[in-house]
Structures are given as C-alpha cells and as structure tokens.
Structure 1
Amino acid sequence: MNLPRRALLFALAAGVASCTVGPDYVPASAPVPDNFKELKGKTLKGWKLAAPYDCVDSGPWWTVYRDPLLDSLERQVEISNQTVAAAAAAYEQARTLIREAQAALFPTVTAGYSVVRQYTGQKLYGNSGTATPTSTGVSTSPGGVVTTSYTTQASLTWDLDVWGKIRRQIESNVAGAQVGAADLANARLTAQAQLALAYFELRAAYTLKNLLEKTSEEFRKTLAITKNQYRAGTVSEADVVAAETQLLSTESAAINTGVIISQLQHAIAVLIGRPPSEVALDRMFLVGDIPAFPVSVPSKLLERRPDIAGAERLMQQQNALIGVAVAAYYPDITLSASLGYRGFTPLPIDPAHEFWTLGATALETVFDGGMRSAQVDSAQASYWQSVANYRQTVLTAFQQVEDELAAIRVLSAQLRVQNKAVVEARKAVVVYLNQYRAGTVAFTSVVVAEAALLSAEQAALQTRESLFLASISLIQALGGGWDRTQLPTAREAATGVSMFPQLEPSSEPPH
C-alpha cells in the first residue's frame, strides 16, 4: 500500500470515528413546586425567602451561629473526619477511571527483545556435522549444530473508536467522577451538620445539668424551711421526708446528665477525627435565638443540594452506558503494525535483517444468543432507575425543607408560650412558699408548684434545643451554602491535579 492510500484510509477512519451511537443525554424533569408551603402567608421569625444574591456563599454556613468554638471544630471535619476522607478517596478513584478510559483512544505500542538459542541434531542439520558454518551465531557441537538468534521488535495495536464506544465510556466515567465529587460534598455537609447537632445537644445537656443543680440548691432551701417548721412543731416529719426525696431525686437527675455529656463529647471527637480521650470541652450553655438564614426558591434547591446534583450526574453516567452497550452491535475495527530486526548478532539492526507487518481487522459477532440485546435492556433499565432515584431525591429534599420550616414555626410559637409558663410557675412557687411559712397551705402544694416549675423549665429548654437542631437541619436541607458550580468540569475531573487538599489530621486537639 502506498502512502496516499494509507493517508486516505486513516482520513476515512477519522471521519467515521465521529459517529457516536446511543442516546445523547437530556436531563429528566423533576417535580418542583413554585413555593414552599410553609412560607406561604406565614411569618417565620429569622427565616425569609432569599432576595437576589442572598444565597451567595459568604463563608461557611455554621458561622451564622457566631460561635468561635463551633467554628474551630467544624474546620477540622474536612481535614480529619474519616468518612469525608473515604469519600475523597472514592472521588479520586473515580477520576482515575476517566484517564483509564481515555487511554483506550490511543494506540498501544510494545517493544521487545528476545534471544533464542537452538540446537539441531546432526542428521537434521546435514551429513557433515563436523563442518564449521560461516554464519555468525552458528557453532557445531558433537552430534549437531547450535544456533543463537536475536530479535528486536516494536508492535502497535490501535482499536479505532469508530462507533463511539470508548467516548461513551469516557462520558460515563466523567459523570461518575462528578457523582463522586457530589458525594464528597454531601459527606462533608452531613458530617458538619452531625457535628453541629452534637455540639448544640452538648450545650443543651450542660444547660440541663446547670438547671438541675440550681434547682437542687432551691430544694435545699425548701428542705431547710421544712426542718425549721418541723422543729417548731408546726409540720409533721412527712414534710421533711418529702423535701429530702425531692432534693435527692433532682440531684440524681443532675448526676445522670453526665452520661449524655460524655457520649456527646465522644461523638464530637470522632467527627473531628480524634480519639475520645483527646477531646474535653468545657461547660457551655444553650441560650439565645436561632440565627437567620435565607431560604431560596424551590427551583434553586436543585442547584444547591449536593445529593440532588449527584443523582442528576448519575443519570448521565447511566445514559452513556446505554451507548456503550449499543456499540457492541457494530464491528470492532483494529489496526496493527510491527517492525523488527532478526539476526545472529546481539544488535541485529540492519536493513538486511528487517521485517514488518501491517494489518487491519474487523470483528463482528454474528450470533450471541441475545446477549447484546439483554445488555442494552439492562443499561436502559439502570438509566430509568437513576431517573426514579433522582426524582425521589428531589421530593425528599422538598419534604426535608418543609419539615424543618414547619418545625421552626411551631417550635418558635411553643417556646414563647413555654417561657411565659416558666415565669408564671416561678411566681407560683414564691406564693406557695410564703403561704407554707405562714401555715396556710400544706407542703404538698409547695412540692407540686416546685415540680411544675422544674417541668416547665425543662420543657422550655428541650424546645429551645429542638429549635436549634431544626435550624441546623434546615440549613443542611438547603445545601449549606453549596452550589452546583462547585462540581468539577470534565477537564478538571480528568486532570491529574486534585481539586481537594490532602486530608491529614490536625496537630492540636480542641479544648
């Protein structure tokens, strides 16, 4: 074959290679409401529909709580949390699959060098086994001839991607790497939210412990009053026993809070990648109101949640695999070539010893018992499964936002009422104590009033805690300030430079 005909063949192959079988990706529709139900005609203190640019990321989402200790803990999640580290490694692994698939677009070149030493018996070589051959590399031995040959060879094999099978695989792997990036972002957001939840639960536990300790001090005063009344002979010993029982029960409850406090500290340590023995957080209380955080319109939720972005990218990954399966119906065209030298010297590179081959192969499966059609059907089913999972992810996201908006609205109203109940219960305790000192009411009335006050204070604290936890869950449900634009492009995913810093443990434990 002369050079012009070779060039024509390669030009034809390149033109045909522009064909890519299989369906092109079109994002599936998702059920998106116009507005959030919980924001229609309702006033939600501190939470509002986002105005333009409200959702621009102005810093980590947890900074809205203005808590330096929380900020220092959260910053360790990305560099030390092992779940996040595992997700980062999974993303890096997904990126390598892109480069692996891209390598199939190029020819494979191999080079080799071989030495073969061969013995031939006298009767096979000739009647004159004692003659000395003149060829280099050939020598005689008693009864036969020994021949040594050397071969240097390079070979090329090129599987032409005529039908786009390799390019569809690359498309699938790129989308898969973007799924991995979204999973990493979601793992990071989840770990950050878990840390914030544990942190505010710890604050609430410390606040409960403080409340029970202060209440115990008040009950000691009540016990002292009953003892004085008992010594004066105005009350029975039963009042003293009741007061002591009330005090001991409250002290026991205060001690019991140490269990949850320890467990929450251990959970925080693990979330920041530390052994529990290395983390000890000082006493802190849960006070104040939840911060404001803008709520974007529902359609924006599709762009701001990493799990939704990952589910959408998974659709393209599965869609491209349909093309990979369809390409199996078409012939597999391969070019091959080799060039080498063979002789009787260690370096036989000589035009006289040259040999070469050129070849082209078209391999088509004629009968496979329906295997390829089954593979195409399987790929299509996987795609439709990803579509259903995407739509379910979207629906779940809207449910989570609505749930937390409703929780914040209801809990805010409940806390306002409970705070009033605490004030009234405290007044009742003062009134009943004064009446008890005057001997106008039984001690039972004092016990009931003090128990009601403690119950009201615990209920208010629990509601405040639930309100803080709901605010964290809402921020997480809104994506925590993440945006779809943070996903790597196809080029960024395929390059050898990681988008994410090396995950290494920090050097100093928090105190």
Structure 2
Amino acid sequence: MKYLTPLLGITLLSACAVGPDYQRPAVDIPSSFQYAPSKAQPDALDTEWWRQFNDPILDQYVQEAVQHNRNLAIALANINAAAGQLTVARSALYPSIGYQAGATRGLSSGERRAGSQRVSNSYQVAANVNWEIDLWGGLRRQSESANAQLEASKQARRGVLLSVAGATVQTYLQLRGLDQQLNIAKDTVNSYQRTVELFELQFKYGVIARITLEQVKSQYQEAQSNIPPIEKAIVSTENALSILMGRNPGPITRGKALDALTAPVIPSALPSSLLSNRPDILEAERQLEAANAQIGVARAQYFPQISLTSLAGGVSEQLNNLLKAGSSIWSLAAQASGSVFSGGSTQGQVKSAEAQTQAAEQRYLQTIQQSFADVENALSSYQADGKTLKSLTQLVNTNLEYSTLASLQYNGGLAPYLTVLDAQRQAYSAQQSATSARVAYLSSAANLYLSLGGDWINQLDQQSSNKPSLH
C-alpha cells in the first residue's frame, strides 16, 4: 500500500495541467440588426445563393474557382503544415524508441614481452527507450495549442473559400455591367454617326448652319471617347476573373445579360448566429484558444522535467554470441532537471504568453464587432442601392422621353439642336448610371450573404478539390 501512494499522487498530478483552461470570453451581442428587412427568408443561408442569379455560366465559374483557385491551394498547404505541427506536439507525449549498434576493433598490449600484443573485437547492439513524463501538463498544453492552430487554419481556409466565391460572383457582375455599358456606348456612337451623316447632307444643301453640324460632330467624338476606357476595364475584369478561377489571363465566356439576372432573396439571421457562421470569427477564437494554451506551456517551465531512460542489449567479442544470455546488458535511469536561476527567462515567457492571449482576446472581440458592422453595412447598402436603382430606372425613362420630345420640337422648329444634344447626353448618362446601380444592387445582395456566412460555405466546400482530408 505504501508503494501505491506515490504512484497515485503522480497519476493525479499528471491528470492536471498548469495554466488556465480555455473559456470563451463574454460577448455583448445585440438582439437584432438595425436594418434587418421585414421580409426575409430564414433558411436562405443554407442554400447555394449564387444559383439564384439563374446564370449557369456563373454557377460554372464559382465551381471552377473553388476547385482551382491558388489561394485555396495555399490555404490547404497551411492546414497540412499545421497538422504536421500537431503530430510533432503529440509525439512528445509518448516514449521514443530507438536503437544503436556498433563494432570496435583495436590493438591492446599488456606487459612488454613478445607475443603479448593482440587484436580484439567488440560488438554491441541495444534498444533504448526515452520518455519525458508530462507531470505538469506542459506537453499537453503544447498539443492543445497545436490542435487549436490546426482548427484555426481550417477556418482560415473556409474564409478563403468564402472570399473566392464572393469575389467570383462580384467580378462576374462587374463584367456584365461593363458589357452593358459598352453596348450602350456603342449604340450611342452609332446613333450619333447616323445623325452626323444626315447633318452633313443638310449642311451641304444649306439646310442647317455649320455651327449645328459642328455641335453634332462634337457630340459624336465625345461619345467615341467613352468606349476605350470601358474596353480597358473589361479586359482587366476578364483577367481578374480568370485568375480567380486559376486560369491564365484571357477572354471570358458570358452568360445572361445583366438585366436578365435575378437578385437572390434576402436571408435573415440573428447577430448571435454569426459566432458560429463566420469563418473569421471561428478562426479568431481558435487563435485565442491556442494562445491561452501557451500560458500553460510557459508556466510548466517553473517545474522540473522528469524523464525515464532504459537500455537493453548485448556486448560480445564474438558476433555470433552477441544475443546470447551471457552477453546481455541493461540499464534503467530516472532523471529530474530544472532551472534554479534563469535571470527571469521563465517569468518573461509567462508574461509574454499572457500578453499574447490578451491581444488574441481583443482581436477576437474586435472581429465579432466588425462582423456586426459588416452585416449592418450590407443591409443598409442593399436597401439604399435598391432605392437608387429604382430612382435611376425612372430617370432613364424620363430622359428618354425628354430626348424624344426634344427631337420632335427641333424638327418642328420649336427648339434649337442644343436642346436635343443636352437631352441625349442626359439620357446616356442616366443609362450608364442605372447600369452601375444595378451592379451595385446585385453585389449588395451577394455581400449580405458573405457577411452572414452560413452552411452554404460547407456546401461549397464539397465542390472544392483543395480540401483537407483530415478531420
């Protein structure tokens, strides 16, 4: 019984670990979002929302991006690296088993007389076991930290997955918006070209003054100058979309026109759901957990390290006798080592670990607050962009009517051609602005899904070829 008492004490000590256990910090969570719509679909976050645009080409591009995007491949490599570090940390909890073997040949001499010198051989082979007993839990805390880092890297990859899908959708929307703006600009140039040709004939026969012809030419040349910047932006956007999909830069196949795309339904969610839905929040929490475990790793340095070492094998002058009973050797040793004076090194490590944990906690809380702001901004933008699109759509209709009436009045001699030019310029500007507003409105709907996170990320993950095989 007296031998069981120390063993029981060691067992109880080894079941504990120095340092604080992780606890999620208290978070001030609002009960609802300020700009939450009255009508929303509660289960929308569980769907592949980009499919609601009803464009098969866009669906194909999202899938291609999550399969071939380079940033996702990098994120997967980071997961594998973190998994390797976890394996290293866990291996320290177990004994290490090794071996050693050797052969020695030497010349020995006794008394200095003839024939006393001889050559001797020595062979040895042994297995050894080394084990550091994690009595204070420092190794377990290191393993805990490495595991949290692994989980953080998984969430970081999910965050990249979210960003890649969102960027693919938004870049495609920008591309379709630029396409529509280019069509409007080209149609305007063609219309002005026909007007210039007509007015040149009228000027030739003295129907109009030269100043009127020059006004029309000026409008035509101005319209021509609007095309190259749009074409330049289209090439840049095509290249950006190609890179997102892991392709070399090049042309992009289009699907439905911008006006044919339908806006996704608005999802609903409570602020508290963000803590489990957003990868950046989950990543920040795992980073906090990893930092918290490092406090235990540092505090374990205050206590002695206890290790056991054993060796068993054989030594013989004859190789064939090496493993026989008479040649056996063995040893068993226990060792305790620690620091008596380190100049404050251990205290400094503990202080550093505690400060890093405090910083990680603040980053976690800040990430949560920023997520609330992201959702509020997305909700506000969606509502504002919807109102802007509605107003600009009405403005387009008004300016087109204005342009028609101005042409009728000019043809009837009731207004100068400057009135027609002004009406056409306003109509063109309104059409381009309305196109930008529609892109912004559709992008706001996408941003709302991105800011809320949700199970759609897991569904998207099933399509990705750059996903971890470990769980």
**Cα distance in 2 between the residues matched to 1:246 and 1:56:** 49
Instruction: Select 2:354's aligned residue among 374, 380, 386.
Output: 380
Q: 1:30 to 1:422 in 2, by over 3 A?
A: same
Which deviates further from its counterpart, 30-39 or 389-398?
A: 30-39
Shift of 1:485: 12
- Is it true that 1:431 corresponds to 2:419 in the alignment? no
Q: Write out per-residue CA displacement over residues 289-342 of structure 1, whole angstroms, 9 at most, x where no aligned residue.
A: 422131211110111100001001111111111111111111111111111211
Q: 1:486 to 1:388 in 2, by over 3 A?
A: farther
Shift of 1:420: 1.1
Amino acid paired to 2:257 = F
- Is it true that 1:440 corresponds to 2:414 in the alignment? yes
Q: Write out per-residue CA displacement over residues 334-383 of structure 1, whole angstroms, 9 at most, x where no aligned residue.
A: 11111121111124112211111111111121111111111111101000
Instruction: Select 2:120's aligned residue among 124, 135, 147.
Output: 147
Q: Is the 8 A contact 1:306 1:482 kept in 2?
A: no
Q: Is the 8 A contact 2:159 2:279 kept in 1?
A: yes
Shift of 1:156: 1.1
Shift of 1:451: 0.4
SS of 1:328 mapped into structure 2: helix
Match of 1:116 in 2: 104
Q: Write out per-residue CA displacement over residues 7-46 of structure 1, whole angstroms, 9 at most, x where no aligned residue.
A: 987665444311211101100122321111112xx65xxx
Q: 1:210 to 1:283 in 2, by over 3 A?
A: farther
Instruction: Select 1:317's aligned residue among 290, 295, 299.
Output: 290
Q: Write out per-residue CA displacement over residues 252-305 of structure 1, whole angstroms, 9 at most, x where no aligned residue.
A: 31233211111111111111111114x532485311542213121111011110
Amino acid paired to 2:218 = T
Shift of 1:482: 4.8
Q: 1:320 to 1:429 in 2, by over 3 A?
A: same
Match of 1:102 in 2: 90
Instruction: Select 1:24's aligned residue among 21, 25, 29.
Output: 21
Q: Is the 8 A contact 2:105 2:122 kept in 1?
A: yes
Match of 2:57 in 1: 69
**Cα distance in 2 between the residues matched to 1:352 and 1:6:** 33
Match of 2:203 in 1: 230
Q: Is the 8 A contact 2:170 2:443 kept in 1?
A: yes
Amino acid paired to 1:435 = Q
- Is it true that 1:266 corresponds to 2:239 in the alignment? yes
Aligned pairs, how many?
Answer: 464
Q: Write out per-residue CA displacement over residues 167-211 of structure 1, whole angstroms, 9 at most, x where no aligned residue.
A: 111111111100000000001111111111111100000000011
Match of 2:132 in 1: 159
Which deviates further from its counterpart, 474-483 or 105-114?
A: 474-483
Shift of 1:218: 2.4
Amino acid paired to 1:29 = A
Instruction: Select 2:115's aligned residue among 111, 119, 130.
Output: 130
TM-score by length of structure 1 reads 0.85
Q: Is the 8 A contact 1:343 1:353 kept in 2?
A: yes
Q: Is the 8 A contact 2:54 2:262 kept in 1?
A: no
Unpaired runs of at least 5, structure 2: none
SS of 2:226 mapped into structure 1: helix
Give the root-mean-square deviation of aligned CA atoms.
2.4
Q: 1:499 to 1:5 in 2, by over 3 A?
A: farther
Match of 2:367 in 1: 393
Shift of 1:472: 1.8
Q: 1:99 to 1:452 in 2, by over 3 A?
A: same
Which residues in structure 2 correspond to 1:37-436 (within 5 Å)? 37-39=34-36, 48=40, 50-51=41-42, 54-55=43-44, 57-58=46-47, 60-120=48-108, 122=109, 125-130=110-115, 144-277=117-250, 279-282=251-254, 285-287=257-259, 288-347=261-320, 348-436=322-410
Amino acid paired to 1:399 = A
**Cα distance in 2 between the residues matched to 1:126 and 1:61:** 95
Q: 1:383 to 1:63 in 2, by over 3 A?
A: same
Instruction: Select 1:475's aligned residue among 449, 453, 456.
Output: 449
Shift of 1:146: 1.6
**Cα distance in 2 between the residues matched to 1:298 and 1:197:** 24
Match of 1:500 in 2: 468
Shift of 1:239: 1.2
Q: Is the 8 A contact 1:305 1:482 kept in 2?
A: no
Amino acid paired to 2:111 = G
Q: Is the 8 A contact 2:386 2:441 kept in 1?
A: yes
Q: 1:84 to 1:68 in 2, by over 3 A?
A: same
TM-score by length of structure 2 reads 0.92
Shift of 1:5: 9.7
Unpaired runs of at least 5, structure 1: 132-143, 488-497, 503-511
**Cα distance in 1 between the residues matched to 2:143 and 2:172:** 43
**Cα distance in 2 between the residues matched to 1:428 and 1:483:** 48
**Cα distance in 2 between the residues matched to 1:267 and 1:349:** 69
Q: 1:71 to 1:6 in 2, by over 3 A?
A: farther
Q: Is the 8 A contact 1:61 1:480 kept in 2?
A: no
Identity %: 26
Q: 1:360 to 1:12 in 2, by over 3 A?
A: farther
Q: Write out per-residue CA displacement over residues 88-147 of structure 1, whole angstroms, 9 at most, x where no aligned residue.
A: 110111111111111111111111110011122x4xx2244415xxxxxxxxxxxx3221
Q: 1:5 to 1:265 in 2, by over 3 A?
A: farther
SS of 1:274 mapped into structure 2: coil
